[in-house]
Amino acid sequence: MRISKVVFPVGGLGKRFFPITRAIPKEMLGIIDKPLIHYAFEEAVAAGIEEFIFVTRHGKNSIEDYFDYMFANSEYFNIKMGSVCYVRQNEPLGLGHAVLCAKNLIGEESFAVMSADDFILHSKSCLGEMIKLYDGSNMVATMNVSSEDVSKYGILDPDRETEKLVTAKSVDEKPSIEKAKSTLAIIGRYLLSHEVFEVLEKLEPGIGGEIQLTDALLKMIPSHGLTGFKFEGKRFDCGSKEGLLSAILHVANQNGKLCRVIEDFYGDKK
């Protein structure tokens, strides 16, 4: 099924990175010389996306400035830019609320949602691989996390499983270890039916007092199903300091000159 639009929710506060995110959007934190949002954008372009919708807020203007620069220099970046637009999320009321803010720009078609702080290092576009298998049901990227981490994620209750896909009979946002039905966590890549907006509009705040996208996915299971895509590649939670540092080291390690800096660092420590 063709998917031409992606929503980038970039309205979060990024509290785990205070104080830097008081002035710099989390999505603009750098992996060496490119911000996180650049990598997510490249993944979306490689997936064939043509329209890019940023759900942004006060203090996030550097994202717009960055994409202005990319538009003006698309040959340098060797990237097909498509069309970019911005919609505001006036209050950070949660990921589900951020997605709802894009309603009028989506219309009646399925669309993608990507969290730039979930950075996936792989030669293939994770979003592109999902789109190849997308059949119109709601789909999320999923991976196993350690049981201590289940309370940070939306966790699937798996039903049928194949090599790449898992059908969920339920999903729970940030369950306790005791309550989690598995360790299969939702990672920030979604392919959604436009009907999610009707559900989000009626949704009460969930855990943390936020409008949770996971709660909307749960309500839609009887009508739209929920499929997890077990993606390939290494994923970094760049919403956390550990994840961002790890991503920087992995990218540096793939670069001849920067790799030597890491070797020097370990040499000095011996």
Residues in the chain: 270
- Cβ closer to ligand UTP: 63 or 199? 63
Structure tokens at 148: 């201590």
Smallest distance from the beta carbon of 92 to ligand UTP, in angstroms?
3
- Cβ closer to ligand UTP: 84 or 258? 84
Q: Which residue of the chain is nearest ligand UTP when measured via CB?
A: 12
Positive or negative CA dihedral for 107, 54, 113, 219? negative
Smallest distance from the beta carbon of 105 to ligand UTP, in angstroms?
15
Site of interaction with ligand UTP (CB under 6 A): 9-16, 26, 55, 89, 92-95, 97-98, 115-117, 239
Smallest distance from the beta carbon of 222 to ligand UTP, in angstroms?
26
CA 7 to chain CA centroid, nearest Å? 9
Smallest distance from the beta carbon of 176 to ligand UTP, in angstroms?
18
Q: Mapping DSSP to helix (H, G, I), strand (E, B) and coil, where does residue 254 land?
A: coil
- Cβ closer to ligand UTP: 153 or 225? 153
Radius of gyration of the chain (CA): 18
Smallest distance from the beta carbon of 144 to ligand UTP, in angstroms?
20
Q: Mapping DSSP to helix (H, G, I), strand (E, B) and coil, where does residue 143 land?
A: strand
Residue owning tokens 């360790």: 183
- Cβ closer to ligand UTP: 15 or 179? 15
- Cβ closer to ligand UTP: 15 or 169? 15
Positive or negative CA dihedral for 16, 17, 19, 23? negative
Positive or negative CA dihedral for 21, 24, 30, 35? positive
